[in-house]
Structure 1
């Protein structure tokens, strides 16, 4: 007979976690973990390319599109991570990255006024393209049916991420618990993981954190005392990863694998 470990009714999730499960709660990264943000970036960059970058023959344009996406996602100069450490403002990091794209691909330099117009184009296309990954729904249902409490921890702004979860149809299943503006800094600082566990109502040792980046997600969660899970989707890495350094965490290729990894 299946017994239950605890009552999670205050979190709005089903009660009763099977004692055979490895965790009582799961925290998710949002971007490129449960929401297909990569595809949304493709749409956003296509919109600003059409408005701001010089036209190219089709084959060259396709290569440029791939380079733009890789450059934006990699953020090789670390502007976004400076933002998550509380060192610069959100729009400052975004303007720096936009100007780096333009400098590399023949676009005009953006002053504050020009960047505001650029950002409006980018943001409208970005928001219109927010959707969940195809396997997200089934994975969440499996976890909820097993009585697991769910929440989200993100390195982006609360307003952006709550809107993103709502647009992707996930807000009722995965409430945002901690964002970068909750404490004024984000991952990999262990305090954000512990605060998310506190809000979820779970012991960090019985809480998994699932994210698409090995360092700031799975390894940082492990170091904070959680169960780290690296979602390494084929072909989607933002940065090169030395896989020999990724130890003490579970590695999955799809969210469909998550319930099994957690013993459900």
Structure 2
């Protein structure tokens, strides 16, 4: 970590997917279910490529959703069709999408669980006297269910894509999160796994941006994942939520 945390922190806003909840693992289980059902001709050793394609989203369908350009189900159907086309499967159109979704989404919801360091980190942040909440680009109802299923029902979802019709990195999203948390934006951390959308977006909105760069979990496919760029932008980089909690505690006693 090259950029230090301020000592006068008031609160921490956390991303949900791949920050608190192991969404990457849940997607891996879901893509494997799709492989078994629709793409069994693909060798098993290529399933990680399928997962990487889903997470990488090279055409940016999910980010188009967060900009208000696509509906949630439409971005997901387009990604499903891209997955099938890439690996030689049947097209996923509006007629076949409901059956596909039952396979994918049913597995996804059954696979939700928190990262191993999430519960202890939330407790440590609160023990340090900080306000804690979540800001996410997904829908509120789904994120509430996801956090509850992951043992984090006490983390309030404060802002979603539904508040303004767009998501991060729109500065209003971060600023509204701090307002609802009751903290000064300049004394509020925003922690997320995407450098540009989460950490740099938070810095540009006047918060303290923290990039959670867990080893082995980067998306690739053109996503900004450069520690030098993080440093230049004044972003704090941590490899785990445990390290975040330690850094917050150290900052508080300086």
After TM superposition, the score normalised by the length of structure 2 is 0.91
Equivalent residue of 2:168, what SS?
coil
Q: Which residue of 1 aligns with 2:229?
A: 245
How far apart, CA to CA, are the structure 2 residues paired with 1:111 and 1:142?
Answer: 46
Q: Point out where structure 1 has 5 or more consecutive residues left out of the alignment.
A: 1-19
Alignment of 1:135-214 (within 5 A): 135-172=117-154, 174-214=155-195
How far apart, CA to CA, are the structure 2 residues paired with 1:157 and 1:169?
Answer: 19
Contact 1:54 1:106 in 2 (8 A): no
Equivalent residue of 2:12, what SS?
strand
Q: 1:34: how far off?
A: 0.7
How far apart, CA to CA, are the structure 2 residues paired with 1:132 and 1:87?
Answer: 30
Q: Which residue of 2 aligns with 1:10?
A: none
How far apart, CA to CA, are the structure 2 residues paired with 1:146 and 1:243?
Answer: 28
Alignment of 1:15-94 (within 5 A): 21-56=7-42, 60-62=43-45, 64-94=46-76
Contact 1:151 1:177 in 2 (8 A): yes
- Determine whether 1:236 maps to 2:217: yes
Name which of 84, 87, 93 aligns with 1:111: 93
Map Cα deviations across residues 147-168 of structure 1 (whole Å, 9 max, x no partner).
1100000011111111101100
Q: Which residue of 1 aligns with 2:3?
A: none
Contact 1:54 1:107 in 2 (8 A): no
Q: 1:117: how far off?
A: 0.9
Q: Point out where structure 2 has 5 or more consecutive residues left out of the alignment.
A: 1-5
- Determine whether 1:98 maps to 2:51: no
- Determine whether 1:220 maps to 2:201: yes
Poorly superposed stretches of 4+, deviation over 4 Å: none
Q: 1:54: how far off?
A: 2.9
* Cα RMSD (Å): 1.2
After TM superposition, the score normalised by the length of structure 1 is 0.88
How far apart, CA to CA, are the structure 2 residues paired with 1:67 and 1:61?
Answer: 10
Equivalent residue of 1:260, what SS?
helix
Contact 2:230 2:236 in 1 (8 A): no
Map Cα deviations across residues 75-118 of structure 1 (whole Å, 9 max, x no partner).
01000000000011001101110000000111101121211110
Contact 1:250 1:261 in 2 (8 A): no
